[in-house]
Chain A
Amino acid sequence: MTGIWNAFIDMFDTATIATIVAGAAPLLFAAMGETISEKAGVINLSVDGSMMLAALAGFVAAFETGSVWLGFPAAAAVGMLVALVVAFGSIKLSLNQVAVGFVLFALCTQLSRFLGSSYVGRLPEAVPAWDVPLLESIPFFGRVLFQQNLMVYLSILTVIATYVYMYRTRKGLELQGIGERPEAAHARGIPVNRLRYFYTALGGALIGIGGAAFTLDVKLGWSDRPTLNFGWIVLAIVIFGGWHPIRVAIGVLLFGALQAYALNLIPEFPSLSQVLPSIPFPLMILALVIVNWKALLRWLDRYPWLRAILRSDPPTAIGTRFEVN
């Protein structure tokens, strides 16, 4: 028992927290991308596949050119392309978003394995570490937030930018409008479907960057299916976070903490060393179950402030089509 407790206490070590923040970067990018896309009303279910294909594209671009910074635009382009296929299929051809997303997930996963097979085990140049001058010397926060690399800083900025854009600007209000009440948005003269294309593509690009942040930073190099299942976790975290950028980001960090805790527990349960690393995945889904449990939500309704923290209501028009009559 003391081992379990000590493993928990070890989590609050500054170095461990810094590792969690660094490891969260790919999922922060991808989760923000999916949040934007779903907020606009389009579910991009292909995340697990498109992230992997983008991770490969980013890796190959960086490996072949020798410049790590060329990897990210390449990955963003691939993620955007896949997202546009989802958007085209659902908006123009009125196909089922979930069906198109699932098929693209399967296709992209296999495509990345197929195209990447000759790159397995190769190492590209990694994203270089870069401490933020002055800020790095702040106690604790300096180590956790400002002694990282550029992609980590960008991932945090992306979360803040998404929040500010979505809830503090007029354009962001329009973004919410096309996901909540597309008819009303249309009546106000907002081009619903054009904006849905735009935000799905933007979201796809972020998902792609998230993929490349794996192969060029967090899990350097290409292996067979390097981002396996992280895309599904992204989809779960977006729901867990109630489609709110800050809460989604907290969900990502929580997942990272669970992963770190699982690794800390391995010395305690050596016989479970193969199982423990995969435990955060079902736990995250369990968390999802809890925040969605109707009975719990009814109980929460009595405590509005608690309900406000835990509420998780999807955009009203998520997954539906909008047609101008």
Chain B
Amino acid sequence: MKSFRLERVFLPTAVVVVSAVGLLLAAGTNGVEPLKLIVEGSIGWPPFESGSSPKVGDTVMVWVPIALASAGLIVTFNAGMWNIGIEGQIIMGAIFAAFVAREVSASRPILILLTIVAGAVGGLLWGLLVGVLRTAGGVNEIFGGLGLDFVAASITTYLIIDPWRRAGVASTSGTDPFPDAALLPSLGGTRFSPLAVAIALLAIVGVWVLFRGTLYGLKLKAVGRNRPSAFLMGIPTNRYLLGAFMICGALAGIAGTSQATGFHYRLIPAISGGYGFLAILVVLLARFRAFWVVPISFFFAMIAVGSSQLQLRLDVNSALGGVLQGVLVLAAMFGLGWSAYRIRQRIAAAGEEPG
């Protein structure tokens, strides 16, 4: 069995390295330089050198929404649902948080708490809507979610160009910055917010505990594996599906709060940053295991932040970072699929019943 395990790790890694270097060579670079630039642009070179704290702060604050969204997606994936609506849930969270940040005046700790709660509520409602469409309307969650993504994006654009437009200048670039009291507290001179990081880590631990130590998690998994038999076992499957969408939506909504009050400090049109879709890739690569989300989403955040350096320094389009992420996930998926296929073949060849 040991050789199988080697094959499972080695094959995807080899494919990734070969395709990544091939791609970088094709882009007219020497192959290693872009990778070094990505590291340098996201956490400094050598890593975490003294002047790199603003960059590290940015990378961490990109990690926070990806990690939160990934934690939520683990819940919906375990319930057997494809929550493509996650982008809309992040956006709704950001909109709700922006509303509180703009309209509510309270002391700083209370205001910050309110933005987080508002974000969670916004995301939760948007997630619940996907779930209701699915359970009551029979609308596939992929398309219900996608439609709500479009709706949420349209609402953001509308808010920015009409009711929340900047004073004086008509602009689609974003709203006025939020008042300082509403912003997530960060360490001097960087975006790094220990509170946001703590919430993200808590969410990941929470999701791990949910599926390792609670009956609710076990039942949710049963619903995801085989809905008819879970139903026959007496589990109210629809209620569990709605629960999964609400948990995921709430976590995604907090990711939206972090984007609005912890990174951009205002509402911008593309407030989700595409991190919801990125989180789907993270969770597929982590194969639905909560703790793997931490390093993988940090690596993806590094690529997202660092690849802007490629444009500046090598004149290579920054979409290269996204290409690398996609190749990585695809290669891992096909690598694992291929070795599983080989195992099935060997078992069949040995004349045993395939398990």
A232 to B144: give the CA distance in the assembly, Å: 12
A residues contacting the other copy or chain, number (CB 8 A): 43
**Contact A292-B147, Cβ < 8 Å, known A107-B326, A274-B172, A278-B154:** no
Per DSSP, chain A at the interface is helix
Assess whether A272 is in contact with B333, with CB atoms less than 8 Å apart.
no
Per DSSP, chain B at the interface is helix
**Contact A110-B323, Cβ < 8 Å, known A95-B333, A282-B150, A293-B138:** yes
A-B contact count (CB 8 A): 127
Assess whether A98 is in contact with B142, with CB atoms less than 8 Å apart.
yes
**Contact A282-B154, Cβ < 8 Å, known A114-B320, A274-B172, A294-B138:** yes
Across the interface, which residues of B come within 8 angstroms of A92, CB to CB? 341
Across the interface, which residues of A come within 8 angstroms of B59, CB to CB? none
Residues from 119 to 144 in B contacting A, C-beta threshold 8 Å: 133, 136-140, 142-144
Does B340 touch A at the CB level, under 8 Å? yes
* CB nearest to B162 among chain A residues: A271
Which of A3-11, A180-188, A283-291 lies at the interface? Answer: A283-291
Assess whether B162 is in contact with A239, with CB atoms less than 8 Å apart.
no
Does B284 touch A at the CB level, under 8 Å? yes
A285 to B146: give the CA distance in the assembly, Å: 8
B136, B144, B150, B320 pick with most chain A CB within 10 angstroms? B150
A92 to B333: give the CA distance in the assembly, Å: 13
What range describes how many residues of B lie at the interface?
A: 35 or more
Across the interface, which residues of A come within 8 angstroms of B146, CB to CB? 232, 236, 285
A92, A99, A110, A284 pick with most chain B CB within 10 angstroms? A110
A107 to B328: give the CA distance in the assembly, Å: 10
Nearest-Cβ distance from residue A314 to partner chain B, whole angstroms: 9
**A292-321 vs B: 1/0 string, CB under 8 Å?**
111001000000000000000000000000
Does B277 touch A at the CB level, under 8 Å? yes
**Contact A98-B319, Cβ < 8 Å, known A236-B146, A282-B151, A285-B144:** no
Across the interface, which residues of B come within 8 angstroms of A293, CB to CB? 137-139
When A and B form their complex, which 10 residue pairs have the shortest distance between CB atoms, in order from nearest?
A: A285-B147, A107-B326, A110-B322, A93-B337, A113-B319, A117-B317, A114-B319, A281-B150, A282-B150, A294-B138
Residues of chain B touching chain A, judged by Cβ–Cβ distance below 8 Å, are 27, 82, 84, 133, 136-140, 142-144, 146-148, 150-151, 153-154, 157-158, 161-162, 172, 277, 280-281, 284, 317, 319-323, 325-327, 329-330, 333-334, 337-338, 340-341
- Can you list 30 pairs linking A and B with CB atoms under 8 Å apart? A92-B341, A93-B337, A94-B340, A95-B334, A100-B333, A103-B281, A103-B284, A106-B326, A107-B326, A107-B329, A110-B321, A110-B322, A110-B325, A114-B317, A236-B147, A271-B161, A272-B158, A272-B162, A275-B158, A279-B154, A282-B148, A282-B151, A282-B154, A284-B147, A285-B146, A289-B137, A289-B144, A292-B138, A292-B140, A293-B139
